[in-house]
Structure 1
């Protein structure tokens, strides 16, 4: 995998830029943090070299100046909203994030419950946080938000919200997911700070779209593919073009809301500190791309992966056809097809040759490994074993797992646990390999190569079970599947 992004340059440049923005105001900046603070795997896939925890590491460079405020919507607490990638509720994720931040030496000042209108579950969550010693503040729903500016910027609007006590110059407002009220929290604080005579500032930190790349650059198109379910569209920032005669890229929601934001700024300060949505941003990622061709190719591959996720979702009923159609249009713009994913053809060819499901993996050095369905193993389990054997230099015809060691697991599955499928899944193969490693040097060697699977590309000729999907995810492999049930 070619490196296309200078992560160390990014950490240095980004932290310096945020410090400069703090100094533009009364040494008080509310920074809305969009996207994921760590585990930002989309960014690491489309910008090869970008560390998944780069934003968190950047923030750690500002740890002496920064405090974190976690925002969570009362309505999300009430309906037990789930984080799709982790499968946990937003309120549980708030507690997880607080532990993560504190574990990295970052100061978490408080939690704000937004859009509150008397939800009992929000009251219970507030009490739970207070018992843990975490300060909690309440922000209320405002009728006509965000367009009724005279009401919003008044004692009956932002003025009703509880003022969040903060002690540091940089206040990072983050949340478990979108729609949590991060921007409203920042603007409410600006109102309260202004009433206290403090000229605090607001800025927005989101990695995508990258404002100083072309509108149709593959990195920005990959962001559109990633947000196809949200109907986000990248567009030229018309306010920036008018103010500076410079073309920059933003996305539709920020452009649409900017006139309202500008009116709110004018109501609070008398004038707006920003002339465009781009002005509000502080993202330096576009300045740290060192190999544009590598990032372009990585982004094209991400668009294909997103396409497969969308069509698989149509097959299992979890996604709409509109999402897939939108990504198909992006693929046409880039002149790419699904077969441009290097693992697709080998998996389909092996499946056709064997008349059963098959899978293929591209190792980090470009080698392609395949796996077929057998009496003992499912295709993804066979692929995993074949890849580990190849990486550890074990001959293909050598059995790292003997049929005798697999048989008891099959008996357990079919005779005692009621499974109709005797073949081993990926997790069962790894457990069997671990048990065998106590007596087998080959099994030990194969097991030691598991970390080398991180970043490998996998394609299956059929949709895999949740068990196999999650295992590839935990191994760090990027998985796609044909939209076909086995």
Structure 2
């Protein structure tokens, strides 16, 4: 059973009260949401017990007072940037988010396309939104943003970008990912609110880094590991210390930007800012929910290792640069961690070597090892019938159901029929069954086969299992495994030299 280190209810109670306090101090609060509003899987991993939808549930309690603006950077749509934890592009994620927000009863005011330059793919996306009844706005890039305060708060700055009409006292500004222009949107709205004679304010809903945990606490280090591509570095908030003689942790972008943001807010409002530090701007009560620091620390260390594998894989795929790779290596050294400290890693590698030694084939052997929530590690390798991802799922379900290895969950005839369909009718050059295909076959067999049904009923027990693959999995297998709730890493090696099928 998973050990809990975080109390979500306690955290939500404190966080909600603090947000309401901010709302009551102004006519309207623009609240920038850092991190994921829905499906915050990073927080769930480093804070065992954290509800990945906690922030959304918190907002649901304030739904009568709030509405949402979703920002998305035009360049991310144009280049089809993918959200890693879901494997979908940012434009598709915007659609997913709208559906999720509506399901919670929180109105979506509009979608804002930031730094818009008439990109063709962006125009298509905007048309799709409009035809589905979604209000869409665009903002152009502002010359001199964010450092040239006089230009920003002027006729060629915020004044030229449209004001988005809002009706609720709490306006949540969110996005599919970082770099979407949430801060600029909030400041743009503040400018227009004050131009209309309204007293509006800005705050940031923070999750990480946690300002009142030590700088090198594993939770904060795990955040730095998760954002190496953004070049984020945790640091002490000197502004906060000078103002309050209290140590606080923030990160480089917020700390570097604080003097400029404060000047912009003061220029807009015509009065001194209430904020003395970047930490002041944040609404962060994460520490209040930590009930077992040792559990949280260990979970965070494991997340650092997972991130190390992720960066290596992104580098192999051309998605990360050498600076990110070096930064991640430094984080491992500073925390005295090795990638092999992740339990399934060496087991998967050793089994692959063992299989390799018994075969004449010199091609790389794909093996996946899964550490089940009960602590047992199960392996699976690619065979003529199924790939390693499918094999390890079968073997894990057998283990959880106490079914003997000698018993077939699926009749070989069924698997061969599916293979024939793939190879002869669908003209696939990869006839082995994938994890997704295996699960569909298992679900169908469970209707008439009691043993298959017993195994099928174990699927929910794979949630929070830890896995490692000796090769880079294809996107279909990776997403299937993640959808099962399994956290998987892999060595940065392709299984073959085939560029397309890798």
- Please confirm whether the aligned pair reaches a TM-score higher than 0.5, indicating the same fold: yes
Deviation at 1:445, TM superposition (A): 0.8
CA distance change for structure 1 residues 198 and 469 in 2, over 3 Å: closer, same or farther? same
Report the Cα offset of residue 57 of structure 1: 0.6
Instruction: Give the SS at the match of 2:309.
Output: helix
Does the 8 A contact of 1:265 with 1:273 survive in 2?
Answer: no
SS at match of 1:140: coil
Any conservation in 2 of the 1:301–1:341 contact (CA below 8 Å)?
yes
Cα deviation code 1:437-486 (max 9, x no counterpart): 23210001111111111110111222223332122112111111122333
Q: CA deviation at 1:309?
A: 1.6
Structure 1 residue 75 displacement after superposition = 4.2
- Rounded to whole Å, the distance in 2 between the matches of 1:418 and 1:115 is 43
Where do 1:258-337 residues align within 5 Å?
Answer: 258-269=258-269, 270-337=271-338
Q: Give CA-to-partner distance per residue, 1:75-126, whole Å, 9 cap, x none.
A: 4455554444445443443333222211211012233333345556656655
C-alpha separation between the residues in 1 aligned to 2:131 and 2:314?
41
Q: Which of 454, 458, 468 is equivalent to 1:449?
A: 458
Segment of structure 1 superposing worse, 405-414 or 143-152:
405-414
Alignment-derived partner of residue 361 in structure 2: none
2:360 is aligned to: none
Of stretches 156-165 and 116-125 in structure 1, the one that deviates more from structure 2 is: 116-125
Cross-structure match for 1:371: 380
Q: 1:32/1:351 Cα in 2 relative to 1: closer, same or farther (>3 Å)?
A: same
Q: Distance in 2 between matches of 1:420 and 1:92?
A: 29
Structure 2 distance, partners of 1:288, 1:110, is 33
Residue 246 (structure 1) aligned with residue 237 (structure 2): no
CA separation of 1:226/1:22 partners in 2, compared to 1, >3 Å: closer, same or farther? same
Map 1:168-179; keep pairs closer than 5 Å: 168-179=168-179
Aligned CA distance change for structure 1 residues 308 and 79 (closer, same or farther; 3 Å) = closer
Large movers: runs of 4+ above 6 Å: none
The residue number in structure 1 matching 2:26 is 25
Confirm or deny: 8 A CA contact 2:86 2:479 kept in the other structure. no
Corresponding residue of 2:346? 345
Instruction: Decide whether the 8 Å contact of 2:87 with 2:479 is kept in 1.
Output: no
TM-score w.r.t. the length of structure 1 is 0.94
Counterpart CA distance in 2 for 1:117 and 1:377 is 47
Which of 461, 464, 470 pairs up with 2:479? 470
TM-score, normalised to structure 2, is: 0.91
Deviations 1:300-347 (CA, angstroms, capped at 9, x unpaired): 111111111222233344333432322221122121111211111221
Unpaired stretches in structure 2, ≥5 consecutive residues = 357-364, 496-502
Cα distance, 1:420 vs structure 2: 4.8
1:140 to partner: Cα distance? 3.3
Q: Which residue of 1 aligns with 2:93?
A: 93
1:368 deviates by 1.4
Cα distance in 2, alignment partners of residues 382 and 60 from structure 1:
41
For residue 391 of structure 1, what is the aligned residue in structure 2? Answer: 400
Aligned residues: 485
Aligned to 2:500: none
Q: CA 1:13–1:473 in 2, change beyond 3 Å: closer, same or farther? A: same
CA 1:310–1:127 in structure 2 vs 1: closer, same or farther (change >3 Å)? closer
